[in-house]
Structure 1
Amino acid sequence: MAKLDKIAFVTALLIGSAADCLAADKPAIVVEIESPLASSQPLQGYLRQTTDAGPSPAVILLHSCNGNWQRTDERWGKRIAAWGYVTLAVDSLGPRGIDSCHNTTPHDVDRDAYRALKFLVQLPSVDPARVAVLGFARGGATALRAVEHGPFEKTSPHKFGAAIAFYPPCSSFKGYMTVPTLILIGELDDWTPAEDCRNMVDGRDVWGISRQERGAPVKLIVYPGAYHAFDAPNPKIPIEGHHLEFNQSVMDQASEALREFLGATIGTKELLQ
């Protein structure tokens, strides 16, 4: 490599690293997703913007039953924003006056993904045609249900471009997926079993719909040796008798898989570099 080429290469690396740092250091702000007049339980969330001048792709993040939307933003919102995406981590439990959905889950939680989408597509910084929904555990089920062929997806005027679910419960889906979908789960998960997700994707569940042959493509990644909440440092062990365990290696692999998937579905080639 010629000397000038080396200088240009190093400069490009430094510029790229600086842009990532700026996006990562840009603080999240609490936003009211709906006005109190629009709903008796208006949602709120943590919003992170990008440093890009034009409309950017965006990712909505849905927390697990622990209601840890702040930690979801810190763990994943900050990371994804550094990749060049606007992020919105939604608080689904606080506005409903509950701190956990382990014992009870309000039925209307499944609509939160589209309530957040309606808010995001109105922002000048967001490209409404490139928004993904990402959820964890119970939030992962909400993310999948948002893009499943059914009433939520059919009745919304706004559509998602992709969906990602970390260790979701996979046994209750009746329809095929309408957009490219990624499911990430641990082989040793004893709370939301990987086998349920395999059965759902392959059409070996009670509904018999192969998500490989019908609808948009669904990619399932099962991580050997990983338990539930493999991406969450210092999880409460156990919860309701289930094993939770952080796994740094799997976290890194999942992060790379997520970045690649977002780049291929709602992102651009530049976001993969």
Structure 2
Amino acid sequence: MRKNITWPYTLLGSLLAILALSSFPASADMAKVDEVIRFELPRAPLTPMQQKQLPQGAQNLDPGSFEGRYRHPGGNDKKPALVVIRTCHDASYYDAWLDRLNDWGFATLTFSRCQPPSFEPDDATIPAFDWKRGSLAAIGALNFLAKKPEIDAKKIGILSWSRLGMIPLSILNYEGFAQFFPHKFSAGVALYPFCSFARGPHGGPILIIAGAKDSWIDNTVCKRVERVSRQDDFPVSLIMLENATHGFDIPQFGSPKQVTRSQINPDGFAASGGILGHDKASEARAIKEVKAFLNKHLR
């Protein structure tokens, strides 16, 4: 006569657990993300003069928040990321760059100086050579990314164009503004930037890609930045593209031509019109160099 077999509860539970685990993948991949978000700008630190004149415990005013676009390529591992500061041109002009950055495996947080609802350049009532709140905005975007569990906080870089390229160049100066905040950028890329605010030494590698035919910014300053940084821990890399003018990597700019101030300078800097235009070969070279640089320093 057959006897019923009695399974111990502990053994039965273990078998059921094994069966349950085998029915599902060990870890589910995070889906791709493409969403509009808001991030907070940090308070600027008090200057030495403010510290002398203001009572103890005083702070600068809350600088508010910015709107940005957060994109994540998906996957189950922590991703490197880039803060991407585009110009105030049509946002779609930069979609090709965002697509390829995501295809390369980088998450991105993109924003511009022209914020809703007015879309007027931030802090540009009086035109200036710099954007004073730009570094605060970059740090705010960095903080947003660094707190994301799906982002590798130690592998966050910054990328920008034109006169906004001064932000990657200046914010990696470890003796400058960024020293007051805990999170740091690991690398920076600036395409045809305004180099006058690029004083080093820098706390991470920087790539500058400029156009030899760019008449809207002074390339001699970028060349000097590269030259004086050669003995630094992180010397600046400068690539000068022979046939490139300002805007060489944006097809929507069309063939190089003289344009008005508003066409080349929607961010409201103290600058006039100039030559703006796309060059296919220069764009391809820039894509190749940026990819190699990011893979080397943010992987």
Tell me which interval the TM-score lies in, with the shorter structure as reference length: 0.7 to 0.9
**Which of residues 163, 173, 177 in structure 1 aligns to 2:198?**
173
Native 8 Å contact 1:48 1:78 kept in 2 = no
Identity between Structure 1 and Structure 2 (%): 25
The structure-2 alpha-carbon separation of the partners of 1:77 and 1:56, relative to structure 1 and needing over 3 Å to count, comes to same
Deviation string 1:3-34 (CA, Å, 9 cap, x unpaired) is xxxxxxxxxxxxxxxxxxxx9x9563111113
| 1:160-199 equivalence runs, <5 A | 160-199=185-224
- The letter of the residue matching 1:212 is R
Counterpart in 1 of 2:127?
Answer: 103
The alignment's TM-score, normalised by the length of structure 2, stands at: 0.71
3-state DSSP class of the match of 1:257? helix
Native 8 Å contact 1:140 1:168 kept in 2 = yes
Please tell me whether residue 244 in structure 1 is matched to residue 262 in structure 2: no
> Runs of at least 4 residues of structure 1 off by over 3 A?
38-41, 95-98, 100-106
Compute the displacement of 1:220 (Å): 0.4
Instruction: Tell me which structure has the larger Cα radius of gyration.
Output: 2
Deviation string 1:80-131 (CA, Å, 9 cap, x unpaired) is 0110010111233215955345935541222211110000011111000000
**Which of residues 71, 94, 110 in structure 1 aligns to 2:92?**
71
Residues of 1 paired with 2:90 and 2:137: CA distance? 13
Contiguous gaps of at least 5 residues in structure 2: 1-29, 42-60, 262-272
Native 8 Å contact 2:169 2:197 kept in 1 = no
Residues of 1 paired with 2:140 and 2:33: CA distance? 23
- The letter of the residue matching 1:214 is D
Contiguous gaps of at least 5 residues in structure 1: 1-22, 203-209, 268-273
Residues of 1 paired with 2:198 and 2:82: CA distance? 22
Counterpart in 2 of 1:258?
Answer: 290
**Which of residues 108, 112, 120 in structure 2 aligns to 1:91?**
112
Native 8 Å contact 2:210 2:241 kept in 1 = yes
Counterpart in 2 of 1:112?
Answer: 137
3-state DSSP class of the match of 1:176? coil
The alignment's TM-score, normalised by the length of structure 1, stands at: 0.78
- The letter of the residue matching 2:284 is D
Deviation string 1:171-226 (CA, Å, 9 cap, x unpaired) is 23332221011000000001113222101211xxxxxxx11112312110000010
Please tell me whether residue 30 in structure 1 is matched to residue 36 in structure 2: yes
Counterpart in 1 of 2:270?
Answer: none
Counterpart in 2 of 1:16?
Answer: none
How many pairs does the alignment contain?
233
Native 8 Å contact 1:52 1:84 kept in 2 = no
| 1:32-51 equivalence runs, <5 A | 32-34=38-40, 39-51=62-74
3-state DSSP class of the match of 1:94? coil
The structure-2 alpha-carbon separation of the partners of 1:143 and 1:262, relative to structure 1 and needing over 3 Å to count, comes to same
Native 8 Å contact 1:43 1:92 kept in 2 = no
Compute the displacement of 1:161 (Å): 0.9
Deviation string 1:132-178 (CA, Å, 9 cap, x unpaired) is 00011122111111102333221110011110000111123332221
Q: Considering only aligned residues, what root-mean-square deviation do their CA atoms show, in Å?
A: 2.5
